[in-house]
C-alpha cells in the first residue's frame, strides 16, 4: 500500500449514528452441562477426534447475569446469544417452561441494561431425539425446527431484539458431512452434504415465516460463515465453485429477510487441485488460519452484492493468547468494515466473537477468542484489555487515529 493511503487509513474513523456494537456467544459453548444434544454425545465419543468435552463450559447457564453485566459494563448496545433447543424441547413435542423462562429472564435483563437481545435459534447443536432419527436428514427436520421456533417465539417474542434463525448452516453441513469433524462425522459424502444444505435452507425459510407471524416485531436474518476465498494460479474454477456451494446458495436464499449476518475470520486459497495452503508470509492464528482482518470488507461486499440485503457482521474475531494482537486485529477489521460503509454498503452493526473464552467445538478450550478470560475452576470472569478497548470504541462510535498499533 502506498505510504499516503496508509496514512489516510490510520486516521480517526467515525461510524454512523445508530451503528450497533455487540458481542456474540452460543449456548453450547458457554452454558455447560448441555447433556441432551448431539454435540455432548459427539464430544464423549472417543472416535470423534474432539480434543475434550465441553463439561461445565463457562457455567453461563447459572452465571448469565454476570455475562449480561459484562456486556453492559463495556457499554455495548447488543448481546447475541443462542437458545439451546435441547433444553427447551428435551423430548420430542415436550417443551420446558422453566427453560423458556430462563431465556426470557436473559432477554429481560438485556432490556433492563438497554442492550438489544439478539437471539439465535440454532447454533450448531441439535436435540438427541432428533439426531436419533436422522438429525437434519430426517424428512421432517425443518418442520421440527419450525415447531420449536414457534413455541420459543410465543414465549419470548415480545422481548426479542433481533432474531438469527440458524447459525452458519453452511458450516453444519460442510463440517458434519464433508470434513467429518462435527457430528455426525460423515466424510466426503456430497449427496448427504447437499441434502442437509437444502434441509437447513428450508428450515430457515419456515423459521422466518414463523417468527414473522408470532408475537413481537423484530428484524429476522440468517448468519453465514464467509471467508475471503481467493484463487491461486489455475484455481479460479474451483474458487468459483466453492463460493457458489459454500456461500452463494445461502446468500441467494435470504429472500426478503431483514438482514444477512456475515461471520468472517480469514482468507482461503484455491488452487487447481482444491484447497491450497496458506500464504507462508501471512502469520496464523491459534486456529491455524491466516491472520487476515481485511476479510471483513471482502465478505461484507460479497454478502451485500449477492443477497441485496442489509448486512450485520454477526461474528468477527481472532483466536490468540496475545490480547495486544487481538486489539490490533479488531482495529484492522473495523477499518475494513468502515471501507464498506464509505462505499455506501448498508452495514448495520459489528459483533465480536466472542464475549469470553469458550468451548471451541472439536478444538476444545485451546483457542482463545474472548474479550474476557474465564478462570478455570472458579469461572471468574476477567475482562482483558481488549474488552476495555472495544467498549471505548463502541461508546464513542469511533476508532481513534492509528487504531491499536
Ligand atoms: C461459529 C462459532 C465459533 C467461531 C470461531 C463460528 O464459525 O459460529 O461457534 O466458535 O466461528 O471458530
Torsion angle of C-alpha atoms 169, 253, 350, 400, degrees rounded to 10: 130
The least confident of 129-133, 382-386, 398-402 is 398-402
Paired sense of beta strands 347-353 and 20-24, if any:
parallel
As a whole number of Å, the CA-based R_g of the chain is 20
Question: Residue 4 — pLDDT band, cuts 50, 70, 90?
Answer: very low
The CA–CA distances, whole Å, from 264 to 117, 164, 251, 294 equal 21, 16, 14, 10
pLDDT for 1 beyond 50: no
Which atom of ligand 1 is nearest the CA belonging to 360?
10
Which atom of ligand 1 is nearest the CA belonging to 223?
8
Question: Residue 5 — pLDDT band, cuts 50, 70, 90?
Answer: very low
pLDDT for 116 beyond 90: yes
Among the listed residues 296, 298, 207, 216, the one whose alpha carbon sits nearest the alpha carbon of residue 257: 207
pLDDT at 2: 38
CA of 393 to the centre of ligand 1 (A): 23
- Do 120 and 171 touch, CB atoms closer than 8 A? no
pLDDT at 404: 46
Among the listed residues 356, 394, 325, 332, the one whose alpha carbon sits nearest the alpha carbon of residue 74: 394
pLDDT at 10: 76
Question: Over the stretch 215-265, which tens digit does the pLDDT of each residue have?
Answer: 999 999 999 999 999 999 999 999 999 999 999 999 999 999 999 999 999
CA of 190 to the centre of ligand 1 (A): 23
Q: Which residues line ligand 1 (CB under 6 A)?
A: 26, 29, 167-168, 171, 225, 263, 315, 353, 360, 369
pLDDT at 298: 98
More confident residue, 289 or 3: 289
CA of 11 to the centre of ligand 1 (A): 31
Which atom of ligand 1 is nearest the CA belonging to 171?
7
Per-residue pLDDT averaged across 179-185, rounded? 97
120 by Cβ neighbours in 10 Å (0-12 / 13-18 / 19+) ranks as buried
Torsion angle of C-alpha atoms 170, 27, 350, 354, degrees rounded to 10: -110
CA of 124 to the centre of ligand 1 (A): 9
- Mutate which of 120, 175, 353 for ligand 1? The one with the most ligand atoms within 8 Å of its CB, which is 353
Question: Over the stretch 305-316, which tens digit does the pLDDT of each residue have?
Answer: 999 999 999 999
- Mutate which of 50, 168, 288, 315 for ligand 1? The one with the most ligand atoms within 8 Å of its CB, which is 315
b or e along 267-301 (b: 16 or more beta carbons within 10 Å of the residue's beta carbon)?
A: bbbbbeeeebebeeeeeebbbebbbbbbbbbbbbb
In the chain, the percentage of residues whose pLDDT exceeds 90 is 96
Question: Over the stretch 122-140, which tens digit does the pLDDT of each residue have?
Answer: 999 999 999 999 999 999 9
Cut 0.85: pTM above it: yes
Question: Residue 366 — pLDDT band, cuts 50, 70, 90?
Answer: very high
Domains of the chain: 21-391 (3.20.20.80)
Task: Say whether the peptide bond before residue 109 is cis (omega within 30 degrees of 0).
Answer: no
Dihedral-angle region of residue 288 (phi above 0 means left; psi in -120 to 50 means alpha; beta otherwise): left
CA-based end-to-end distance of the chain: 17
Dihedral-angle region of residue 289 (phi above 0 means left; psi in -120 to 50 means alpha; beta otherwise): beta
More confident residue, 402 or 163: 163
Instruction: Provide the mean pLDDT of the chain.
Output: 96
Question: Residue 3 — pLDDT band, cuts 50, 70, 90?
Answer: very low
Strand partners, 313: 262, 350
Whose Cα sits closest to atom 12 in ligand 1? 360
Which atom of ligand 1 is nearest the CA belonging to 361?
10
pLDDT at 7: 38
Q: How many CB atoms lie within 10 A of CB 141?
A: 21
CA of 361 to the centre of ligand 1 (A): 8
Per-residue pLDDT averaged across 267-279, rounded? 96
CA of 215 to the centre of ligand 1 (A): 29
* d(C-alpha 106, C-alpha 112), whole Å: 10
Question: Over the stretch 32-68, which tens digit does the pLDDT of each residue have?
Answer: 999 999 999 999 999 999 999 999 999 999 999 999 9
CA of 102 to the centre of ligand 1 (A): 24
The CA–CA distances, whole Å, from 314 to 36, 130, 164, 166, 317 equal 27, 27, 9, 12, 10
In the chain, the percentage of residues whose pLDDT exceeds 70 is 97
CA of 7 to the centre of ligand 1 (A): 33
Amino acid at each position: 500500500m502506498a505510504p499516503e493511503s496508509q496514512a489516510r487509513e490510520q486516521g480517526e474513523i467515525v461510524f454512523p449514528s445508530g451503528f450497533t456494537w455487540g458481542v456474540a456467544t452460543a449456548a453450547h459453548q458457554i452454558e455447560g452441562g448441555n447433556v441432551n444434544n448431539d454435540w455432548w454425545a459427539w464430544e464423549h465419543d472417543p472416535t470423534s477426534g474432539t480434543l475434550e468435552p465441553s463439561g461445565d463450559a463457562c457455567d453461563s447457564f447459572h452465571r448469565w447475569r454476570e455475562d449480561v453485566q459484562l456486556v453492559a459494563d463495556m457499554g455495548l448496545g447488543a448481546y447475541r446469544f443462542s437458545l439451546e433447543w435441547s433444553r427447551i424441547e428435551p423430548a420430542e413435542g415436550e417443551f420446558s417452561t422453566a427453560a423458556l423462562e430462563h431465556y426470557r429472564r436473559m432477554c429481560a435483563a438485556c432490556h433492563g441494561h438497554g442492550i438489544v437481545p439478539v437471539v439465535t435459534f440454532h447454533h450448531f447443536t441439535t436435540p438427541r431425539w432428533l439426531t436419533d432419527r436422522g438429525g437434519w436428514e430426517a424428512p421432517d427436520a425443518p418442520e421440527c425446527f419450525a415447531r420449536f421456533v414457534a413455541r420459543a417465539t410465543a414465549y419470548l417474542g415480545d422481548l426479542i431484539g433481533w432474531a438469527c434463525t440458524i447459525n452458519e448452516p453452511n458450516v453444519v453441513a460442510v463440517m458434519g458431512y464433508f470434513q467429518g469433524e462435527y457430528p455426525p462425522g460423515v466424510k466426503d459424502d456430497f449427496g448427504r452434504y447437499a441434502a442437509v444444505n437444502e434441509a437447513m435452507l428450508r428450515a430457515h425459510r419456515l423459521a422466518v415465516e414463523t417468527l414473522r407471524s408470532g408475537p413481537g416485531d423484530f428484524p429476522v436474518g440468517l448468519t453465514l460463515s464467509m471467508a475471503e476465498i481467493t484463487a491461486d494460479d489455475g484455481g479460479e474454477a474451483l474458487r468459483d465453485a466453492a463460493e457458489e456451494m459454500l456461500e452463494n446458495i445461502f446468500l441467494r436464499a435470504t429472500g426478503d429477510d431483514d438482514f444477512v449476518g456475515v461471520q468472517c475470520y480469514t482468507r482461503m486459497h484455491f488452487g487447481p487441485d482444491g484447497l491450497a495452503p496458506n500464504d507462508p508470509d501471512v502469520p496464523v492464528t491459534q486456529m491455524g488460519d491466516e491472520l487476515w482482518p481485511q476479510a471483513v470488507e471482502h465478505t461484507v461486499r460479497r454478502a451485500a452484492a449477492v443477497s441485496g440485503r442489509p448486512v450485520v457482521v454477526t461474528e468477527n474475531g481472532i483466536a490468540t493468547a496475545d490480547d495486544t494482537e487481538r486489539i490490533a486485529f479488531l482495529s484492522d477489521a473495523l477499518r475494513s468494515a468502515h471501507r464498506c460503509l464509505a462505499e455506501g454498503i448498508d452495514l448495520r452493526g459489528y459483533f465480536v466473537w466472542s464475549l469470553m473464552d469458550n468451548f471451541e467445538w472439536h478444538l476444545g478450550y485451546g483457542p482463545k477468542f474472548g474479550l474476557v478470560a474465564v478462570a478455570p475452576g472458579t469461572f471468574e470472569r476477567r475482562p482483558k484489555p481488549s474488552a476495555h478497548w472495544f467498549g471505548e470504541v463502541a461508546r464513542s462510535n469511533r476508532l481513534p487515529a492509528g487504531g491499536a498499533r
